[in-house]
Amino acid sequence: MDISSNFDGGNIQVISKKSFDDIRLKIRKDTNSDFFQWFYFRLQGVEGYPCKIKIMNASGAFEPVGWKDFNAVASYDRLNWFRVPTSYDGQVLTIDHKPEYNSVFYAYFAPYSYEKHLDLVHASQLSSLCVAESIGNTVQGRDIDLLTIGYPGKDKKKIWVIARQHPGETMASWFIEGFLKRLLDQNDAVSVKVLQKAVFYVLPNVNVDGSILGNIRVNAAGINLNREWANPNRRGSPEVYYILKKMIETDVDLNLDIHGDEALPYNFVSSIEGIPGFNKRMESLQNAFFSAWIKINPDFQTKHGYGKNEPGKANLNICSKQIGHKFDCLSLTVEMPFKDNKDIPNPLTGWSPERSDRLGSSVIGVIQTIVDDLR
């Protein structure tokens, strides 16, 4: 039996592997940080054996509540990911699985590799609507890829969509894939119409270093990028520094920051009631956004979420709050589940790349309904 994680996004450490029903592992801490929760590893030599894979340090993870009612994903071909029975006793997370092939991958959610990210960026630029460019370098010297979509014009709204500040939230990449596919489809009247009125600035992966390193939450310097927006540091959080610089150059009329949530089995949005300049205009815009999305895609809902900030109490280090504050615009954190949408569950896949993709494409319909009223 072999266990490995030395590949893009991999994360696991072996404690012991005495027998198939007693495989003991632990999740490695994020780079220069104490956070951990993302896992992604390969198990070999196991065809037909009932395996019990125990993650011994599960209770020390970033959000241990995330293990409750959670089932890990597995794949034989890294294209199709399915859920496998998983249980949590308050200490140890145990995956029970009898693999049908000799080699199998397990993960916290369907991974999205750096190569796939580069493919997406470069496939997108083949559209005459899209320009791909790097706006700076990450801590480890990788490109920070920005896609500009549509033709800038004096009266065009500027819409920013960013993803993977938290690298372990891979559903955000699948969301962006669905979003881009539809936005670049010139046979889709909704996209054509929206692009007559807006230009999009899309960052499919803000934290490529953290993604490759197999982190849940931080970049290569150990920084949680989503706490850096009030005052980003070019050394520790260059990813945010360069994005904010570009936002100031282009301006922002709407900002969507795409995430995954460990705990809640729903899709929801964290809103900006708590920012200092929140007013009636912003409130009605936010409500219009919510009600349109609920109508367009029932995977979105507003019953379950983080709860609103009290007026003036928002944390302006967080991207959506800082951008809403700085640009006086609608700015939202979109959260998808690691587990499933409890209202419309799929026991085979749980929340999946496909559902994330459809949610991403559906938000373009929402933008169409509010684009004229943005800022």
In the complex, the residues that contact Zn ion under the rule CB under 5 A are 166, 169, 259
47 is a catalytic site residue: no
The C-alpha atoms of residue 267 and residue 352 are separated, in whole angstroms, by 12
The C-alpha atoms of residue 350 and residue 341 are separated, in whole angstroms, by 8
> Of 169 and 273, which has the nearer Cβ to Zn ion?
169
Which own/partner contact pairs does 132-137 have at CB distance under 8 Å and 24+ positions apart?
135/242, 135/243, 135/245, 135/246, 136/238, 136/239, 136/241, 136/242, 136/245, 137/238
Considering the candidates 63, 262, 335, 354, report the single residue annotated as catalytic. 335
Which amino acid appears at position 343 of this protein? Answer: D
Nearest approach in angstroms of CB 165 to Zn ion is: 6
Query: What DSSP state is assigned to residue 55?
Result: E
- 87 forms beta bridges with 94
> Of 299 and 335, which has the nearer Cβ to Zn ion?
335
Nearest approach in angstroms of CB 58 to Zn ion is: 19
> Of 166 and 339, which has the nearer Cβ to Zn ion?
166
> Of 158 and 259, which has the nearer Cβ to Zn ion?
259
Nearest approach in angstroms of CB 11 to Zn ion is: 17
> Of 253 and 262, which has the nearer Cβ to Zn ion?
262
By C-alpha distance, which of 242, 224, 244 is closest to 234? 242
Q: Which residues of 345-371 are buried (b: 16+ CB within 10 A; e: fewer)?
A: eeeebbbbbebbbbbbbbbbbbbbbbb
User: Residue 95 in 3-state DSSP?
Assistant: strand
Nearest approach in angstroms of CB 169 to Zn ion is: 5
Nearest approach in angstroms of CB 119 to Zn ion is: 24
Catalytic positions, written as ranges:
335
